[in-house]
């Protein structure tokens, strides 16, 4: 299948060519024709699969009939609304959609919390056919009457599972009630809990189910090692030891809590590493600056919580370290999916204390593999020598020296044509998506659900639990 098969308008094709996309990715091949038909979609696809273009390109095409060069904001009402759980994801979608729309007269805007609302008011006042938003900030704008949603024809709910985790469900219901009943709905989620199923039943109409790549598959080209450490205190020494031992130059270290992320980044920075943390308590500006620094190589260790890291599109990532094993085994798959792409070999190292063992059991159950566990015995006091071994009883002495991370860095080659995109569809062998939705077993099928909008009570504004915690 080629992009030319979709018969996009010339300005859209020009943008696709400029982005360097030669072939549609599997999710694009499946989703684009369905979205072009105006049908609802329930998609199981993660970031990194090309899902943004999968929904954005056909929506742009459908909006081309409204494209006009008028300067009047009234001629540019919001016609497509794309909701994302985090500021980073919203911004990422915005950057992509803006690029796809750049040769069309369609206007694109983004609003998210944590930054000054005034510049957003100005951009909304100019009018935009496509609005990307986080739910809370969108409601702020609605209350301030800086945006109306009465012309919305298409609603996209991206990373719906994460939205629910973050407590956005009441906001989502409030927003949905403000939209015209007659509209197209697309929902993407990496997991299919009963809550997600219920949400899908609330607003999707006869959705086409689209699933790409095995949901819980782990790449074969990623070395996955679990290190047992004796205590939480040892984990910090273990991170700096592994960074040095493995010569890792660009690594995301995952923690389960915001406080843990801040503390670890601070400790690593004290050791002379260029480390920084990204989590929900940081200002939007701080998060974007840290992320940019990481992408540019100025920050070599990015300590992140799952929510903050979710959706980040970072190419060429040689390694991830799980400082904490995630509470949810699916988060493990998300984390590991960030490395070893494009056929490059990746490294995923996990630290585990005895009390974490139950999380490993869950991960092994989900991924259907048994992990090799190595012992890592390290002293907790920073200035004492570091010991490492495959068995606790035979610890080898490792001379301590100032790490030369950059000098020993392994740079993995970049990629432009990621084979991941071209891997054939592999149906999930665990809890198939379709059965999760109570339907038949085909990967793509129709599922009839009753459209219903829930009660009109104004719900309390949620507090987003931005930190790996609340589940
Ligand atoms: P997404 O999953 O939408 O975040 O996309 C992940 C990355 O893949 C982004 O950097 C996109 O620009 C890129 N991408 C999307 N579609 C294609 C394509 N057909 N060919 C090559 N790269 C793509």
Task: Convert the pLDDT of each residue in 128-157 to its tens digit.
Answer: 999 999 999 999 999 999 999 999 999 999
Ligand 1 mean position, distance from CA 2 (Å): 15
Instruction: Indicate if ligand 1 lies below 6 Å from the C-beta of 46.
Output: no
pLDDT for residue 245: 87
Q: What architecture does CATH give domain 223-375?
A: 3-Layer(aba) Sandwich (3.40)
Q: Measured between alpha carbons, how far is 433 from 189 in angstroms, rounded to an integer?
A: 10
List Cα–Cα distances, 221 to 90, 204, 232, 243, 340, in angstroms. Answer: 30, 37, 29, 20, 6
CB neighbourhood size of 105 (10 A) = 15
> What are the pLDDT digits (tens) for 416-427?
233 433 333 333
pLDDT for residue 410: 30
Ligand 1 mean position, distance from CA 438 (Å): 31
List Cα–Cα distances, 248 to 239, 244, 450, in angstroms. Answer: 11, 7, 51
- Name the percent of the chain lying above pLDDT 70: 75
> 3-211: which CATH topology?
Rossmann fold (3.40.50)
Q: Measured between alpha carbons, how far is 229 from 224 in angstroms, rounded to an integer?
A: 16
Buried b (16+ CB within 10 A) or exposed e, 445-461: eebebeeeeeeeeeeee
Nearest CA to ligand 1 atom 18: 21
> What are the pLDDT digits (tens) for 346-371?
889 999 999 999 999 999 988 878 88
pLDDT for residue 88: 86
- Name the percent of the chain lying above pLDDT 90: 48
pLDDT at 449 over 80: no
Nearest CA to ligand 1 atom 15: 50
Which token pair is 376? 């890592």
Ligand 1 mean position, distance from CA 230 (Å): 41
Phi, psi of 324 (to 5 degrees): -115, 140
pLDDT for residue 310: 66
Q: Which atom number of ligand 1 is nearest to the Cα of residue 19?
A: 12
Q: Measured between alpha carbons, how far is 391 from 468 in angstroms, rounded to an integer?
A: 31
Average pLDDT over every residue of 2-19: 95
> What are the pLDDT digits (tens) for 28-45?
999 999 999 999 999 987
Ligand 1 mean position, distance from CA 54 (Å): 9
Enumerate the domain spans of the chain. 3-211, 223-375, 416-449
pLDDT at 465 over 60: no
Average pLDDT over every residue of 15-31: 92
Ligand 1 mean position, distance from CA 29 (Å): 13
CB neighbourhood size of 388 (10 A) = 18
Q: Which atom number of ligand 1 is nearest to the Cα of residue 46?
A: 2
Phi, psi of 70 (to 5 degrees): -60, 145
Contact 276, 265 (CB under 8 A): yes
pLDDT for residue 437: 40
- Tell me the pairing of strands 251-254 and 301-304: parallel
> What are the pLDDT digits (tens) for 66-100?
999 999 999 999 999 999 998 888 999 999 999 99
End-to-end CA distance of the chain: 40
Phi, psi of 202 (to 5 degrees): -65, -40
pLDDT for residue 72: 93
CB neighbourhood size of 58 (10 A) = 26
- Centroid of chain to Cα 9: 29
Mean pLDDT of the chain: 78
pLDDT at 181 over 60: yes
Answer yes or no: same fold for 3-211 and 223-375: yes
Least confident of 69-78, 115-124, 214-223, 394-403: 394-403
Contact 292, 342 (CB under 8 A): no
pLDDT for residue 430: 33
Ligand 1 pocket test, candidate residues 43, 50, 92, 317, most atoms within 8 A of CB? 50
Average pLDDT over every residue of 291-320: 80
> What are the pLDDT digits (tens) for 401-447?
333 332 233 333 332 233 433 333 333 333 333 433 443 322 333 23
Q: Which atom number of ligand 1 is nearest to the Cα of residue 52?
A: 3
Average pLDDT over every residue of 121-126: 93
List Cα–Cα distances, 195 to 86, 306, 313, 352, 443, in angstroms. Answer: 19, 20, 27, 30, 21
Which token pair is 464? 């987003």
Closest alpha carbon to 42 in 166, 186, 165: 186
pLDDT for residue 52: 93
Instruction: Indicate if ligand 1 lies below 6 Å from the C-beta of 47.
Output: yes
Report the C-alpha dihedral over residues 402, 406, 410, 415, rounded to 10 degrees.
Answer: 150
For the entire predicted model, the pTM comes to 0.59
Instruction: Indicate if ligand 1 lies below 6 Å from the C-beta of 53.
Output: yes
pLDDT for residue 225: 92
Q: Measured between alpha carbons, how far is 218 from 369 in angstroms, rounded to an integer?
A: 10
Ligand 1 mean position, distance from CA 59 (Å): 16
């Amino acid at each position: 299948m080629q992009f030319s098969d979709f018969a996009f308008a010339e300005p859209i094709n020009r943008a696709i060519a400029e982005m360097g996309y030669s072939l549609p990715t599997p999710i694009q091949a499946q989703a684009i024709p369905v979205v072009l038909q105006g049908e609802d979609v329930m998609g199981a696809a993660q970031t990194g699969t090309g899902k943004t273009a999968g929904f954005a390109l056909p929506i742009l095409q459908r909006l081309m009939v409204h494209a006009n060069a008028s300067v009047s904001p009234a001629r540019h009402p919001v016609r497509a609304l794309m909701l994302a759980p985090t500021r980073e994801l919203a911004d990422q979608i915005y950057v992509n959609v803006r690029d796809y729309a750049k040769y069309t007269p369609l206007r694109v805007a983004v609003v998210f919390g944590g930054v000054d609302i005034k510049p957003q008011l100005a951009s909304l006042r100019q009018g935009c056919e496509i609005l990307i938003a986080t739910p809370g900030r969108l409601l702020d704008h609605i209350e301030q009457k800086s945006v109306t949603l009465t012309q919305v024809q298409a609603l996209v709910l991206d990373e719906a599972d994460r939205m629910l985790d973050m407590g956005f469900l009441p906001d989502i219901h409030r927003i949905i009630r403000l939209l015209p009943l007659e509209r197209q709905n697309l929902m993407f989620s990496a997991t299919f809990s009963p809550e997600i199923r219920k949400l899908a039943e609330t607003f999707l109409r006869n959705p086409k189910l689209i699933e790409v790549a095995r949901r819980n598959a782990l790449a074969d080209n990623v070395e996955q090692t679990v290190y047992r450490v004796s205590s939480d205190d040892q984990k910090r020494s273990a991170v700096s030891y592994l960074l040095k031992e493995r010569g890792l130059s660009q690594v995301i270290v995952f923690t389960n809590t915001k406080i843990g992320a801040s503390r670890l980044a601070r400790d690593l920075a004290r050791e002379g590493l260029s480390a920084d943390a990204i989590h929900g308590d940081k200002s939007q500006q701080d998060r974007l600056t840290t992320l940019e620094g990481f992408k540019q190589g100025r920050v070599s260790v990015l300590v992140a919580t799952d929510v903050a890291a979710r959706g980040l599109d970072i190419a060429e990532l040689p390694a991830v370290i799980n400082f904490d094993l995630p509470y949810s085994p699916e988060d493990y798959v998300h984390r590991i999916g960030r490395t070893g792409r494009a056929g490059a070999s990746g490294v995923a190292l996990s630290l585990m204390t005895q009390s974490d063992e139950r999380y490993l059991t869950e991960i092994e159950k989900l991924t259907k593999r048994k992990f090799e566990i190595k012992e890592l015995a390290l002293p907790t006091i920073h200035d004492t020598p570091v010991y490492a071994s495959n068995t606790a009883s035979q610890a080898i002495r490792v001379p301590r020296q100032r790490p030369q991370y950059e000098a020993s860095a392994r740079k993995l080659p970049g990629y432009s044509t990621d084979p991941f995109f071209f891997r054939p569809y592999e149906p999930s062998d665990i809890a198939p998506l379709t059965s999760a939705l109570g339907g038949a077993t085909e990967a793509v099928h129709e599922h009839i659900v009753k459209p219903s909008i829930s009660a009109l009570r104004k719900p309390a504004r949620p507090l987003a639990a931005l930190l790996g915690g609340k589940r």
